[in-house]
Amino acid sequence: MAYIGNIPADKYQTLQKQSFTTSATDTYTLSYAVTNPQDLALFINNVRQNPNDAYTVSNTTLTLSSAITSSDTMYAVFLGRAVETVAPAIGSVTNSMLANSSITLNGSAVSLGGSATVGGSNTPAFFINKQSDQTLSSATYTLITFDTEIIDTDNAFASNKFTVPSGKGGKYVIGSVLLTDANAGSNYEYSIIQMRVNGATTHHHITDFRLNNATEISIPVQAIFDLSAGDYVEVYCQISDYSGSPTIDTDGSTFQSYFYGYRLIGA
């Protein structure tokens, strides 16, 4: 982009300043070593003093030509200590440019290592597909089995349940979709999908086709759970049909019946 005049700066300079606690003395200690009085702008009661005449310097020692009192104000600007501030381009700051734990979120330091992002990461996270059909007894709650791990960041899924790892308690989004099938036209009466935490039902969704029977339907459930380390979540299903042998259907090339979840950031 062209500019009229000078290109706007993206680097800015500011000078170091030191304020003094004054007393009835003529000698003070500087924050930085100075070799020449001209390297220092000294102000007493907001009036700039003349180098050599009003003060001299030697390393970190500032000597006034005459003592001042505690009611006087005095500060110095170090002319030889410019601090450069650079405004980085938008999107140019990466994790490697920041010190680990230099950013905090809700009072906790955020790790910048690995794949973590500012604000934390939605882990543990899991997505488990079902690739083997499962036959259920009609009108009977049955634990649904899942056999193919697509994502399991913390190895927290096993034996058909997700278990919260140590130190990973919090709010979780967890859900499941099941393709339920009565395997014959107009056989399907109703189906129920349940989420159970530590064996107890917490969420219960029902689809009812009685008097207008169907064949198959995908039934979903999703909710936010407040879980502690060691808590486990399972999926149960009940299908009622006239044939007495309903199934949870699967397909090797698509996701038809699955179980998933992830921890929420900052909740």
Q: Given this model, what pLDDT does residue 42 score?
A: 95
Residue 193 exposure: Cα atoms within 13 Å on the Cβ side? 21
122-263, CATH topology level: Jelly Rolls (2.60.120)
Task: Tell me how many helices (H) and strands (E) the chain has.
Answer: 0, 21
**Adjacent-strand bridge partners of 217:** 180
Q: Given this model, what pLDDT does residue 120 score?
A: 65
Look up residue 203 and give its two tokens.
Answer: 């969420």
Considering the entire predicted model, what is its pTM?
0.59
**Adjacent-strand bridge partners of 15:** 82
Domain extents in the chain: 11-86, 95-120, 122-263
Residue 251: name the closest of 127, 149, 131 by CA. 131
- pLDDT averages per 10-residue partition of the chain, 267 residues: 59 79 93 88 94 91 93 90 64 71 59 55 94 95 96 97 96 97 88 97 92 87 96 97 89 92 90
